[in-house]
Amino acid sequence: MNDERAMILTMLREGKISVAEADALLDVLNDDAGAGGFSAARPGGSPAPDQPGDDAKPSGDDAKPSGDDAKSGGRGADFRFDFDAAGLSDGIRAVMGSVRETMSGVSETLKNAFSEFGDLDIHFDLDQGLGKRRVEDTRRLSTDAGSSDRLHVSNVWGDLRVRGGSSDAIAAEVRVTAWAATEEEAATRLRSITVDLVERDGAIVVDVTGAERKTRIDIDVTVPRRFGVTASSASGDVWIEEVDGAQSVRTASGDISVASVGASRVGHHVFSSKSGSIVAASLSGEVDASSASGDIRVDGFDGALSVSSQSGDVHVTDGTGSVECKSVSGDVSLSMRAPETMIAVTSVSGDVVVRVPRDAAIDVHASTISGDISSELPLADERRARRSLSGRMNSGGIAATVSTVSGDASLRLDSATGSP
């Protein structure tokens, strides 16, 4: 069984496509080896010379299915015809290729992002403090940054907040909480925990020793604005704000919130969560955001943004630069203020909405296997079929690619951005 058939059967088993849709897709793959299949499709969306040019048929009512096909929602024979005979530029092979790339890309990103959690014990009891005595203590630490320009923090259980300040000093407030059967035992456990700020390999490290399973460490640090942060947390939320250096934040179970990060497009930022949401605003630089199980929201970026979610929605607004969004199971909403270089959106099971300004100079290529495509973009050289759309807006130049397997694709003008 090849990859395409396995993927179709997996989506059917998970309820992401219907039996009729699965049958139609399998029929297309079976016919692909014969004449007139996808191998006959020409690049760029043009029909072969001996084909009638169905791609060029107008949008609207003329493009709607009729008769028995309309009763079945456009599935079955009409669905097969669109992909088999019309010679669409983005056929099932191209879409499946995008899907495989999306799924493998998300998996590889997440595997790399969470490889460092191997030495963290995240299997603590969530109710470990219930019915036991608890004591807590707040430690306040400070040190000069010196020549350091980075903060390193690794935590098992507890929240982390890092913010940029105006001075060259580093100040930390650390709340340590310990549980035990008696108050005396909890106090003894608390005293065994040490927290220090130490310089190591050019970075300032929040060094915690003696923390056991029945302890929680919450850390609040102020660093110079020029700092970058490397942070990992097995269970806890992370906030990063108003810092200009390169950021790397990974959580196994916890949300990530970042705001006003990066001073230019030079920095590279990585935000990854295995089981948590990511919320970001006012980002500059090259940004990679990924979540295995959680939503991702980015409000404002300037640079290059790459977002991947395995199980969650993706929402991006006010973007300047290039963007790539990949979702396996979730909706994608993207709004660009000033697109540059590339717009690429792929969804396996979810709807996609892309908004661009009126002055965007883009080359549009949209395709879907079992969804609908709608557009309000003023496209020149438009070629439209039931499952694909291509054309050029404002002379083109920037590649804008949208592909879905089981979901609708909608292309819209963003009235709040661009020139009037």
Average pLDDT over residues 394-399: 97
Single-letter residue type at 379: L
Q: What's the domain count of the chain?
A: 2
Q: Tell me: do 165 and 291 sit in the same domain.
A: no
Q: Tell me: do 115 and 129 sit in the same domain.
A: no
Exposed, middle or buried: residue 147 (CB in 10 Å: 0-12, 13-18, 19+)? exposed
pLDDT band, very low/low/confident/very high, at 37 (cuts 50, 70, 90): very low
DSSP conformational letter for 192: T
The SS3 assignment for 285 reads strand
Q: Tell me: do 70 and 4 sit in the same domain.
A: yes
| pLDDT the model gives residue 161 | 98
- Using CA atoms, how far apart are residues 218 and 117, in angstroms rounded to an integer? 18
Q: Tell me: do 293 and 410 sit in the same domain.
A: yes
Report the half-sphere exposure of 158 (CA within 13 A, side-chain side). Answer: 24
* 253 part of a folded domain: no
Q: Tell me: do 107 and 143 sit in the same domain.
A: no
User: pLDDT tens digit string along 275-329?
Assistant: 999 999 999 999 999 999 999 999 999 999 999 999 999 999 999 999 999 999 9
Task: Give the percent of the chain with pLDDT over 90.
Answer: 64
| pLDDT the model gives residue 125 | 44
Q: Tell me: do 396 and 308 sit in the same domain.
A: yes
User: pLDDT tens digit string along 329-341?
Assistant: 999 999 999 999 9
| pLDDT over 70 at 88, yes or no | no
Show which of 218, 236, 254 is a domain's final residue: 236
CA distances from residue 239 to 63, 168, 243, 254, 412 in whole angstroms, order as listed? 49, 20, 11, 11, 33
Q: Tell me: do 150 and 109 sit in the same domain.
A: no
- Using CA atoms, how far apart are residues 251 and 274, in angstroms rounded to an integer? 6
User: pLDDT tens digit string along 153-170?
Assistant: 999 999 999 999 999 999
- Using CA atoms, how far apart are residues 179 and 44, in angstroms rounded to an integer? 65
- Using CA atoms, how far apart are residues 109 and 119, in angstroms rounded to an integer? 19
pLDDT band, very low/low/confident/very high, at 197 (cuts 50, 70, 90): very high
Task: Calculate the CA dihedral of residues 171, 138, 278, 163 and round it to 10 degrees.
Answer: -20
| pLDDT over 90 at 26, yes or no | no
Query: What's CA 181's distance to the chain center, in Å?
Result: 43
Q: Tell me: do 420 and 286 sit in the same domain.
A: yes
Contacts of 86 (CB under 8 A, 6+ apart): 47, 51, 54, 55, 385
Residue found under tokens 């269970």: 235
| pLDDT over 50 at 385, yes or no | yes
Contacts of 374 (CB under 8 A, 6+ apart): 408, 409, 410, 411
* 145 part of a folded domain: yes
Give yes or no for a contact between 176 and 194, defined as CB atoms under 8 angstroms apart.
no
Task: Give the percent of the chain with pLDDT over 70.
Answer: 68
* 310 part of a folded domain: yes
| pLDDT over 70 at 343, yes or no | yes
Written as six digits, the tokens of 78 are 């009409």
* 257 part of a folded domain: no
DSSP strand pairing (169-180 vs 215-224): antiparallel
- Using CA atoms, how far apart are residues 330 and 313, in angstroms rounded to an integer? 5
| pLDDT over 90 at 191, yes or no | yes
Residue spans of alpha helices (H) in 197-268: none
| pLDDT over 60 at 55, yes or no | no
- Using CA atoms, how far apart are residues 227 and 152, in angstroms rounded to an integer? 11
Q: What is the pTM of this model?
A: 0.72
Least confident range of 99-113, 198-212, 252-266: 99-113
* 273 part of a folded domain: no
pLDDT band, very low/low/confident/very high, at 24 (cuts 50, 70, 90): low
| pLDDT over 90 at 52, yes or no | no
Least confident range of 26-40, 246-260, 266-280, 353-367: 26-40
User: pLDDT tens digit string along 124-153?
Assistant: 444 344 447 999 999 999 999 999 999 999
- Counted residue by residue, the chain has a size of 420
Q: Tell me: do 282 and 410 sit in the same domain.
A: yes
Domain membership of residue 144 as a residue range: 125-236
pLDDT band, very low/low/confident/very high, at 211 (cuts 50, 70, 90): confident
Of the two residues 414 and 213, the one the predictor is more confident about is 414
- Using CA atoms, how far apart are residues 372 and 374, in angstroms rounded to an integer? 7
Written as six digits, the tokens of 187 are 């106090």
Give yes or no for a contact between 88 and 139, defined as CB atoms under 8 angstroms apart.
no
Show which of 181, 205, 236 is a domain's final residue: 236
Show which of 236, 268, 300 is a domain's final residue: 236
* 270 part of a folded domain: no
| pLDDT the model gives residue 64 | 44
Single-letter residue type at 420: P
Single-letter residue type at 152: H
* 178 part of a folded domain: yes
Q: Tell me: do 323 and 411 sit in the same domain.
A: yes
Q: Tell me: do 300 and 223 sit in the same domain.
A: no
Q: Tell me: do 228 and 290 sit in the same domain.
A: no
- Using CA atoms, how far apart are residues 128 and 132, in angstroms rounded to an integer? 8
User: pLDDT tens digit string along 229-249?
Assistant: 999 999 999 999 999 999 999
* 185 part of a folded domain: yes
| pLDDT the model gives residue 132 | 78
Average pLDDT over residues 38-57: 38
